[in-house]
């Protein structure tokens, strides 16, 4: 017998009237359990504390139940009593009492259960049904949008993955959060930090830098910018090594310029103390081979994950970052470097400056979504080279877009006077050979200071500076001389492709 045409895959695709979710299907729901949960909340004020982290208003299938739950949580937030009368008064004040079925509805709910003993178990089932409905909703949206030829396929993939990621994390996206919950989260975080020894964020491994930043903070976008040859890649690799080996914090590195093997070779040079040139040529004596074999073990076990996909788009980056966080608990992301990224298919209609702005905003969005710091390297314009004096970089030197400065929580520059044949620091006249300065020019939540570091060019390695002039041998930290007037004075636009790739 021939199958009915309407049941064939092609017919289903072409039928404009066939509901995406199927014919006659009822969305997953547990109305009786919703009533049991609300009834427990009405008879036991302490019941809400058991489920406040599990349930949200949108977890309930019935709209009336959503209104009642919102009224209960509002009373709880104001430390008011929770019972039939107070909830009814709250709903009446909001003009929703009749919508939920009046006081009779509340009385009926309170008789559904005799205690709140099983409220957590019931609440989890309610949430499971909500997640099922969300998966159906997301799937239906994706099916509908996939048939629309005007949609960008990469954006569609990114949207689907983001929605599914939110569901899998049990953190379904909300339109807003009230100040009550936000204050609770902030106080809880402050208490957690106060009990923790050391830094509140991800340590860089450089004492002076960590003293200024207290570690790289969650949700922060950190820009590290410099001219080619200053050591941008060397700095972040040194930090990645410190985080992964010394502090056992998983690090994700996206290298758009160098291959993953080249980066690991640099890390091997830094870890073993064998020059990068020797490693490239393989001219190692017996002692150096033994040194390589023994010291590389720590690097093998380090939780460093390197992706060297060239021309990475922000959409691919977001997807890869989500997987790194979900699968490997990555605590920080490093991107080398920002100007080599693309905004993605269909986003190149504007000029390069607009594209960089899109990339910058996306990086900040990734940091906020995953609640981890994101470090992005950036090139500086040639205005630095044409400037007289010490050639210190300024915020206006950030190449191609002022949006980078706007979106970043921290903007810092690497400055090595030795690169310009300058052998003394301009502020105190001390020798500067083999040294570098990390200039923190913008710090949204902290001070502007300069931190001097030791730089070993043969191994492309940064480390703390043993500064004999500083008390106790501590790394030297200087107050930043950057100011808005100086930054505005040297604003220069350049060709976005005017630079060679950096040496370090």
Sign of the four-CA dihedral 496, 499, 501, 504: negative
CA-based angle 119:122:123, to the nearest 5?
Answer: 80
| Residue 400: pLDDT band with limits 50, 70, 90 | low
| Residue 177: pLDDT band with limits 50, 70, 90 | low
CA 38 – CA 481 distance, rounded (Å): 60
Q: What is the DSSP string of 291-307?
A: HHHHHHHHHHTS-EEEE
CA atoms within 13 A on the CB side of 74: 15
CA 480 – CA 230 distance, rounded (Å): 19
Please give the average per-residue pLDDT across 121-148, as a whole number. Answer: 89
Answer for the pair 424, 402: CB distance below 8 angstroms, yes or no. Answer: no
Q: Which residues contact 415 (CB under 8 A, 6 or more apart)?
A: 226, 230, 391, 392, 393, 436, 437, 438, 439
Q: What is the DSSP string of 131-155?
A: HHHHHHHHHHHHHHHHT-TTS-HHH
Domain segments of the chain: what residues? 31-168, 199-489
213: nearest Cα among 397, 442, 404, 380: 442
Residue 155 annotated as catalytic: no
- Model pLDDT for residues 26-51, shown as the tens digit of each residue: 889 999 999 999 999 998 877 887 78
Answer for the pair 91, 71: CB distance below 8 angstroms, yes or no. Answer: yes
Tell me whether residue 466 is exposed, middle or buried, using C-beta atoms within 10 angstroms of its C-beta: 0 to 12, 13 to 18, 19 or more: exposed
Answer for the pair 230, 414: CB distance below 8 angstroms, yes or no. Answer: yes
Least reliable range by pLDDT among 148-162, 351-365, 472-486: 472-486
What are the structure tokens assigned to 188, written together?
Answer: 């809880």
Answer for the pair 119, 37: CB distance below 8 angstroms, yes or no. Answer: yes
Most trustworthy range by pLDDT among 50-59, 167-176, 226-235, 478-487: 226-235
Q: Which of 58, 257, 353, 456 is catalytic?
A: 257
CA 399 – CA 413 distance, rounded (Å): 13
- Is the model's pLDDT at 167 over the cut of 90? no
Question: In the prediction, which pLDDT does 125 show?
Answer: 92
Q: What is the pTM of this model?
A: 0.60
- Is the model's pLDDT at 170 over the cut of 70? no
Q: Which CATH number fits domain 31-168: 3.40.50.450, 2.40.50.140, 1.10.860.10, 3.40.50.800?
A: 1.10.860.10
Q: Which homologous superfamily does the CATH classification assign to the domain defined by 199-489?
A: P-loop containing nucleotide triphosphate hydrolases (3.40.50.300)
Provide long-range contacts, Cβ within 8 A and 24+ apart, for 349-358: 352/400, 352/496, 353/400, 353/401, 353/496, 356/400, 356/401, 356/403, 356/404, 357/401, 357/403, 358/314
- Is the model's pLDDT at 105 over the cut of 60? yes
CA 140 – CA 247 distance, rounded (Å): 44
Give the residue, 214 or 45, on which the prediction is more confident: 214
CA 314 – CA 326 distance, rounded (Å): 18
Secondary structure (H, E, C), 384-427 = HHHCCCCCCCCHHHECCCCHHHHHCCEEEEEECHHHHCCCECCC
CA 248 – CA 234 distance, rounded (Å): 20
- Model pLDDT for residues 1-13, shown as the tens digit of each residue: 444 443 343 333 3
In DSSP terms, 216 is beta-bridged to 202
What are the structure tokens assigned to 357, written together?
Answer: 């702005």
CA 56 – CA 177 distance, rounded (Å): 11
Q: Which residues contact 160 (CB under 8 A, 6 or more apart)?
A: 138, 142
Q: What percent of the chain has pLDDT over 90?
A: 13
202: nearest Cα among 176, 182, 222: 222
435: nearest Cα among 475, 474, 400: 475
Question: In the prediction, which pLDDT does 477 show?
Answer: 54
């Amino acid at each position: 017998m021939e199958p009915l045409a309407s049941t064939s895959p092609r017919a289903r695709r072409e039928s404009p009237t066939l509901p995406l979710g199927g014919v006659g299907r009822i969305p997953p729901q547990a109305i009786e359990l919703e009533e049991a949960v609300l009834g427990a909340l009405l008879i036991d004020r302490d019941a809400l504390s058991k489920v406040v982290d599990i349930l949200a208003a949108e977890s309930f299938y019935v709209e009336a139940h959503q209104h009642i739950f919102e009224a209960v949580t509002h009373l709880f937030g104001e430390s008011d009593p929770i019972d039939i009368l107070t909830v009814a008064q709250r709903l009446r004040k909001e003009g929703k009492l009749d919508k939920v079925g009046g006081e009779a509805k509340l009385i009926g709910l309170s008789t559904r259960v005799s205690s709140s003993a099983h409220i957590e178990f019931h609440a989890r089932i309610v949430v499971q049904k909500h997640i099922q409905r969300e998966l159906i909703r997301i799937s239906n949206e994706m099916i509908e949008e996939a048939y629309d030829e005007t949609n960008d396929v990469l954006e569609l993939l990114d949207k689907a993955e983001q929605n599914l990621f939110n569901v899998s994390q049990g953190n379904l996206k909300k339109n807003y959060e009230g100040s009550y919950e936000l204050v609770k989260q902030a106080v809880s975080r402050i208490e957690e930090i106060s009990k923790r020894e050391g830094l509140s964020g991800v340590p860089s491994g450089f004492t002076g830098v960590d003293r200024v930043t207290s570690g790289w903070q969650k949700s922060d976008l950190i820009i590290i910018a410099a001219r080619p040859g200053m050591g941008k890649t060397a700095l972040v690799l040194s930090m990645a090594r410190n985080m992964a080996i010394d502090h056992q914090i998983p690090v994700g590195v996206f290298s758009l310029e160098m291959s993953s093997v080249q980066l690991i070779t640099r890390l091997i040079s830094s870890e073993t103390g064998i020059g990068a040139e020797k490693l490239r040529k393989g001219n190692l004596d017996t002692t150096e081979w033994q040194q390589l074999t023994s010291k590389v073990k720590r690097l093998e076990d380090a939780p460093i994950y390197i992706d060297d996909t060239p021309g990475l788009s922000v959409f691919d980056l977001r997807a890869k970052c989500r997987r790194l966080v979900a699968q490997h608990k990555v605590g920080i992301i490093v991107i080398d470097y920002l100007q080599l990224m693309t905004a993605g298919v269909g986003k190149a209609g504007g000029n390069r400056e607009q594209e960089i702005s899109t990339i910058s905003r996306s990086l900040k969005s990734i940091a906020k979504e995953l609640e981890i710091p994101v470090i992005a390297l950036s090139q500086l314009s040639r205005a630095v080279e044409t400037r007289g004096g010490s050639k210190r970089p300024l915020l206006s030197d950030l190449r191609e877009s002022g949006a980078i400065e706007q979106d970043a929580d921290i903007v810092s520059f690497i400055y090595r006077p030795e690169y310009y044949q300058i052998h003394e620091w301009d502020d105190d006249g001390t020798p500067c050979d083999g040294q570098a300065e990390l200039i923190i020019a913008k710090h949204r939540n902290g001070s502007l200071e300069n931190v001097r570091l030791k730089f070993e060019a043969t191994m492309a390695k940064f480390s703390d500076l043993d500064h004999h002039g500083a008390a106790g041998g501590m790394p030297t930290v200087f107050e930043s001389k950057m100011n808005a007037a100086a930054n505005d004075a040297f604003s220069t636009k350049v060709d976005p492709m005017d630079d060679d790739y950096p040496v370090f």
